[in-house]
Amino acid sequence: MLPYSVLAQPAATERPAVEAGWILERIARPAPVSTSFLEVRDSPMLKAPLRVSGEYQRPDDATLVREVQSPYRETTTIRGDQATIAREGRAPRRFKLTRAPELAALQASFGALLGGDRVALERHYTVRSQGVRERWILTMAPKDAALAARVREVALYGRGAELRCIETRPVDGEIQRTLLATAARAATPAHDGAALAALCHGEANAAAAPGGGRNG
């Protein structure tokens, strides 16, 4: 019989919990950088989730561009404390970010995430991490009262050095998911809301189309 001290030791395959600092170091990307996205908006008013696809661009450290390519064309440019929204067939709209706390938070959080700046991120959010390095979640609760009245928290899902999905959890209403990079490209019209959520969360069965398995 093995001694108790041996039996009490953790299994050799047990993986340590991931730390927020490790995640931020791995997902940092210096400007210029761009990534494709698929935003999924669910609502009881819709028969199926609305899918908005396009590309996030960060041409320099002070600028964030969100370019929607489908089902309509719209470009939101955030630079400093100003935002410009240009939609096809309409005159551009310009306004200060103080009028749109969600956009201000988007600029601050993306800048801090891509810069790997934990201090800047924690200036705006309470940050906690869970999971392991191969599959992690970074949760951010806003400190700004105006934003916290609308958004309870934002959860980032990833694997290793890849940020795959951003899940925005509002105080009221439905969760909004933004799939990024390989997760966005893996989504197909056959994926329903549950399958897209599984893809966001990195679940193993997400690659299979609903109602069936993988071929071959």
Q: Which long-range contacts (CB under 8 A, 24 or more apart) does 116-121 make?
A: 116/24, 116/25, 116/27, 116/28, 117/24, 118/20, 118/21, 118/24, 121/24
Ranges of each domain in the chain:
16-200
CATH of range 16-200; options 2.50.20.10, 3.40.50.300, 3.30.70.270, 3.30.470.10: 2.50.20.10
**Residue 115 DSSP label:** H
Q: Structure pTM? A: 0.83
What is the mean pLDDT, run by run of 10 residues, along the chain of 216 residues?
Answer: 48 77 94 94 78 95 94 94 92 89 80 89 94 97 91 96 95 93 92 91 63 39
Output the pLDDT for position 51. 93
Output the pLDDT for position 157. 98
